[in-house]
Structure 1
């Protein structure tokens, strides 16, 4: 009986914690459909979709969305390439300083964004590189690489080396082994890593603040909207779209990787 009460108490505490964390997001979702132009008038006056049409009719919003999508896509591609190569190199070979290299690879995700942003800004200034889309992509790639690397190295560690040796014994060269043995094992890990990297890049604001010039990504646009109370309904709609755009890839990545140990060729 005591155990049932404790279990019920833990469930209530867990649900209470989730409600506390997600209540602000729920408020944004509700007021994105509010008919009242005041934005946060309580209670909501009704349901409407007019703010969505007004949002997508604004050129500044469309430009910010396009820029964020471009930056996130390019940063994700760079991260997939560099993160996969780094993971493969560290998985295949043992060498002096391997742990230090691994630490350096994951360090950008552990550092505060403001430290990374300041470091990148100083590096760009010393090299004479003007802030542009390129500098934003480089800034985002620094932490996106970590996401891909962690996913790929975890999957490679669950891949039996006997599969690689068997492929070589059967006459396959390095490319054929990679294409038919290694890559199928990495498929879901790469997809999940790419989705997570895209989501993180799409809503990144701290590093972007230091690496952007006149460019304005969607998070920077939202930050600028804080000083424009008349645009609160439009801001609510854009904030909701950003949350959905980042939440869906993260959920998809979770479902893709939670059963990763059971993929074909993982050593089972």
Structure 2
């Protein structure tokens, strides 16, 4: 017989109080900017006479007529990348869920490693790999396996491949979570029905081995980690110019002269301090939301879920433009703190979802038992629930830090004169990215590995 949880005074109000701070932030810096952007899009006028709210929908038709080629191309590339992520990602998620055994956390960690390296640096690494005479195509052309005029960069295949690479972890993770919830007995039953001629004995009920699926998963992980390896390797490249595309020898000079470019150093400091502030604020606002969604049933829960999903699913370019519209309308000068505001807005849902997933495995009767034994609400939460939540909270904070350091699109709209690491790298890519960028990316990656590894060890020690 299942024990029904007693409702105590204040239980009905608790989820709303937990959600309120984060909800207010998202209402102010996600919902409101979108409303402002839509309102501005329906105005008519010019910069001389001014603009008036006329609800003129003809602007949308003008945009479609003028930019229909770009719109269709974006939709086609997006659909192709989504299909590729599904096709490539599902076998990986299946293998991790049902074949990785006690090493699941290791493979999930490998899957998330690209998040510890800036998106711009990973893209630059792919430029090194796929350049006409780069580390991949160059040797193949030299031995005659590819024609001299063959190229991949600046083609639809490269664009779709890049989109697939960047978004593949976002496909694998939710599919893995869904597969984890499948009852193992269902899988065992389907295996028994499939293996009709298996020999008798203790091996008869074992699932058939899938070495090909194991090899496939390893190859996908190698593909995800290849740009990181290139980034680390070319941090030691003894190049004599800003063009860091071909290997010219080994050197440690770039580590010795890491801070030789003042503007690059300043951009790195901006990115790291912004990410630190964002991680703290987003964790403080997102954790109560995840806690409320994971442990309470309350009116409006579906609306909060919808808000979280909308904030994650919103295209970065739309969110960046919406926030820019809000800051312009309010006359807020863009700079360091507008970047912080924008990053917190898109990081809160990630913390909430991470904490909520952690709450899914929590037995609520443990805290209820502590309260029955005389512990107050705060004492029960501090001694029972919080220790269990800490790995999820730490994971959410680390994810926020990585997303903030990595962000380019939203930052480019709202940075003003503030230059962050991704903005500097992108602007430098037009003339040549110095090796110090690879070194800085390597050090950030190593720092993220150390923190993530410490979090994993902490989680295992608590579980033991």
Which TM-score tier does this pair reach, normalised by the shorter chain?
Answer: 0.7 to 0.9
Deviation string 1:53-77 (CA, Å, 9 cap, x unpaired) is 2232322222112111111111111
What is the rounded CA distance, in whole Å, between the counterparts of 1:112 and 1:252 in structure 2? 33
Deviation string 1:200-231 (CA, Å, 9 cap, x unpaired) is 111111111111110011111111111232x5
1:107 counterpart = 2:321: no
Question: Using a 3 Å threshold, how does the CA distance of structure 1 residues 263 and 257 change in structure 2: closer, same or farther?
Answer: same
Post-superposition offset of 1:17:
3.2
Match of 2:430 among 199, 221, 227: 227
Deviation string 1:166-210 (CA, Å, 9 cap, x unpaired) is 122222222212211121111111111111111111111111111
Structure having the higher helix fraction is 1
What is the rounded CA distance, in whole Å, between the counterparts of 1:134 and 1:145 in structure 2? 16
Match of 1:68 among 271, 290, 296: 271
Higher deviation after alignment, 33-42 or 103-112: 33-42
Deviation string 1:122-142 (CA, Å, 9 cap, x unpaired) is 122222221122111111112
Q: How many residues align?
A: 255
Are the equivalent residues in 2 in contact too, given 1:185–1:263 (CA < 8 A)? Answer: no
- Normalization by structure 2: what TM-score? 0.50
What is the rounded CA distance, in whole Å, between the counterparts of 2:414 and 2:454 in structure 1? 29
Higher deviation after alignment, 119-128 or 191-200: 119-128
Post-superposition offset of 1:244:
4.3
What is the rounded CA distance, in whole Å, between the counterparts of 1:214 and 1:101 in structure 2? 35
Q: Which has the higher contact order (CA 8 A, sep 6+)?
A: 1
Q: Which runs of 5+ in 2 are unaligned?
A: 1-208
How large is the Cα RMSD of the aligned pairs?
A: 2.7
Q: Secondary structure at the match of 2:257?
A: helix
Deviation string 1:224-255 (CA, Å, 9 cap, x unpaired) is 111232x53233333444544556656666x4
Post-superposition offset of 1:117:
0.7
Match of 2:225 among 22, 42, 63: 22
Question: Using a 3 Å threshold, how does the CA distance of structure 1 residues 165 and 12 change in structure 2: closer, same or farther?
Answer: closer
Question: Using a 3 Å threshold, how does the CA distance of structure 1 residues 15 and 88 change in structure 2: closer, same or farther?
Answer: closer
- Normalization by structure 1: what TM-score? 0.83
- What is aligned with 2:338? 135
Q: Which runs of 5+ in 1 are unaligned?
A: 1-5
- What is aligned with 1:195? 398
Are the equivalent residues in 1 in contact too, given 2:294–2:357 (CA < 8 A)? Answer: no
- What is aligned with 2:382? 179
Are the equivalent residues in 2 in contact too, given 1:29–1:240 (CA < 8 A)? Answer: yes
Are the equivalent residues in 2 in contact too, given 1:55–1:61 (CA < 8 A)? Answer: no
**Structure with max Cα Rg:** 2
